[in-house]
A and B are shown apart, each in its own frame.
Chain A
Amino acid sequence: AQSVTQPDIHITVSEGASLELRCNYSYGATPYLFWYVQSPGQGLQLLLKYFSGDTLVQGIKGFEAEFKRSQSSFNLRKPSVHWSDAAEYFCAVGSSTGYSTLTFGKGTMLLVSP
């Protein structure tokens, strides 16, 4: 069965500092990987996704993530955090073999300090 681990429940970063949110997955084949962001009272918005090809993927709002097969990781990064980035971030894994739902991690809440 596929699973996703986001080891950090909360992270606080100073505005302007760099950010890395960790995500580890368990899946038997090449996964499809996603990062979503959820602002308070809002639904989830896709930041970026990895299906194949270049392991460094760019997303919206200046985010990027790198797929590392050897580490079963798909960490999210941003070089300079803005106060508006404060939100909850979810990593998700999907199947490349036809099962059609996403499995989500429990999320990481990002707090941005001035």
Chain B
Amino acid sequence: GAGVSQSPSNKVTEKGKDVELRCDPISGHTALYWYRQSLGQGLEFLIYFQGNSAPDKSGLPSDRFSAERTGGSVSTLTIQRTQQEDSAVYLCASSPRQGHTGELFFGEGSRLTVL
């Protein structure tokens, strides 16, 4: 597709289970970002991938969160042993720019509900 694609769009899981969220960026975009959007909290930066460089993981809230990007394209965000406070919308974005911040193109998000 032409835009950033995320799956699943909705995920309901039980506390303690692991979940994987997938992001397929716009073709040719070298930068990929994950943000978390919680009610009333705006967008919280989680992790950033740029080409083959080591990812910027400075926003990951705990070691239960991890992400990888295979082949410089698709990315998977994994949350282990989910907690109720992990409930949020997880947004992926990509960007064609290297280096400084440019426009981010967002997917529609994956809504995670932890029961």
**Interfacial residues, chain A to chain B (CB-CB below 8 A):** 9, 32, 34, 36, 41-46, 49, 90, 92, 94-107
Pair B101/A102 contact, Cβ less than 8 Å: yes
Give, as a whole number of angstroms, the nearest-CB distance from B71 to chain A. 20
Known: A32-B100, A100-B99, A101-B33. 7 other contacts (CB 8 A): A44-B91, A45-B106, A98-B100, A100-B31, A100-B100, A104-B43, A107-B42
Partner of A43, one of B4, B41, B99: B4
How many angstroms from the CA of A94 to the CA of B95 in the assembled complex? 13
Which residues of chain B are within 8 angstroms of A100 by Cβ–Cβ distance? 31, 48, 50, 56, 99-101
A9, A100, A104, A105: which has the most chain B beta carbons within 10 Å? A100
Pair B43/A90 contact, Cβ less than 8 Å: yes
Which residues of chain B are within 8 angstroms of A90 by Cβ–Cβ distance? 42-43
